[in-house]
Amino acid sequence: MKSSRNTSKQEKSLHSQVHPHHTGRDRALAGKMRRQSLRESFPTRHDSEHDAETNDAATHLPTTKPLATVLSRKGLGSTLDALKTSLSTAEFATITMLALYALLGIVYSAQVPHGITLAAVDFGLISVMSILAMNDTHYAHVQPSESVNAPRFLAPARRLLLFPTLLIVYMQAPLYVPFVHPHDYDTLLAALDKTLFGVSPTVWLYAYSHPIVTEILQACYLLFFIIPLCLGIEFHRTKSDAVFRKYTAQFMIALYGSYLLYFCLPAIGPCFTVHDFARTNTELPGVFFTETIRMIINNGSGAGTALPHLTAHRNCMPSGHTIAAVVNIVCAFRFRSRYRWLVASICAGILVSTVYLRYHHAVDVLAGLVLAPLFMLGIRSIQGFMRSRGFVSA
């Protein structure tokens, strides 16, 4: 036994003489390996937390990509993705129309007064609508457990902004028609009226005109601008978000379709081509407010100038008033508006007033009656196309 111990000591002494610098390092390495083995067998809480932090950090390490690719993905790409998940059908259609008129304002800036200014306004509205939509959608998806208070004005501001923007689009639409398609088709439309009815409808209705009837119909014609806002506010306050989105999508797609069709058959209406525009107040007098309302409408339609036949908007074919009236009647009953019968009565007055007050040819109204349901039926196809392109909120 003693001899074996001596032999072992001699071997260790010989090994240390041959590798004198390995003795301490080997001993430390062996100890480290034993500790590592024990740690893997019995992990401590500190070790598990350390491993979790390491793995999490590794997961979030950015991959090495070119700077241009990273900037594009985080900048424009992420913004477009956020817009796709945020914009409703009505917002997308409105932004598309604003972009189109902004482009026309730039192209025809030399001919259209303040064309560049209008384009800047359009781009500003696009930015505001996009920011409101993305922020409203972001706060809508925040978990209840997260202590984030969404600004209360976001949803109402986002929804109500659609209506003044619609008016701005409406006012811009006729500005570019004379330059894109510089030809009026009133002669053709008046001939079609006589072919279909055997007489000019506006001349025939003049024989049955009465100041009280004129007063009522002139008020109905003006309410064309008020009814959509009233229905929108009602649906915002009393109906679901889905109802509001459906109404605004159907109403605005239908009107924007009519705005685009103005470029196909520009016309200023029978009040200029069939009748003497200067004698309108004399031939169709009202009772109290007819002339005031007529002045407001004339100024808004470009006819309140010294040369109204030159400056009046070419926006008769198809009749936007007719299209809007049909859509409002259908939506008021479909979504159970409290005022659906009142809306239907006013819209019926709008349908008659378009021809009675000489703003439209009868074929303009017929075209509107045909196009309104087609636009409403086409909404599903438009929304299906949008969803296939990633617009999940359409």
pTM: 0.76
**Residue that is written with structure tokens 């993305």 in the block:** 134
Please state the φ and ψ torsions of residue 327, each to the nearest 5 degrees: -60, -40
**pLDDT in the model for residue 50:** 46
If we measure between CA atoms, which residue out of 94, 161, 89, 329 comes closest to residue 231?
329
**pLDDT in the model for residue 138:** 63
- At CA 42, angle to CA 37 and CA 43, rounded to 5? 95
| Ramachandran quadrant class, 27 (left: phi over 0; alpha: psi -120 to 50; beta: rest) | alpha
If we measure between CA atoms, which residue out of 372, 392, 276, 377 comes closest to residue 326?
372
Residue 245, C-beta contacts closer than 8 angstroms, at least 6 positions apart: 88, 89, 90
Tokens of 303: 């006819």
- Tens-binned pLDDT, residue by residue, of the chain (394 aa): 444 445 454 444 544 444 444 455 555 565 656 555 545 544 444 444 444 444 444 444 334 344 344 344 455 556 677 777 778 889 999 999 999 999 999 999 999 888 899 999 999 999 998 888 887 766 555 444 444 555 677 778 888 899 999 999 998 888 899 999 999 999 999 999 999 999 999 999 999 999 999 999 999 999 988 999 999 999 999 998 889 999 999 999 999 999 999 999 999 999 999 999 999 999 999 999 999 999 999 998 888 888 888 889 999 999 999 999 999 999 999 999 999 999 999 999 999 999 999 999 999 999 999 999 999 988 888 888 778 877 766 6
Q: What is the DSSP letter of 76?
A: I
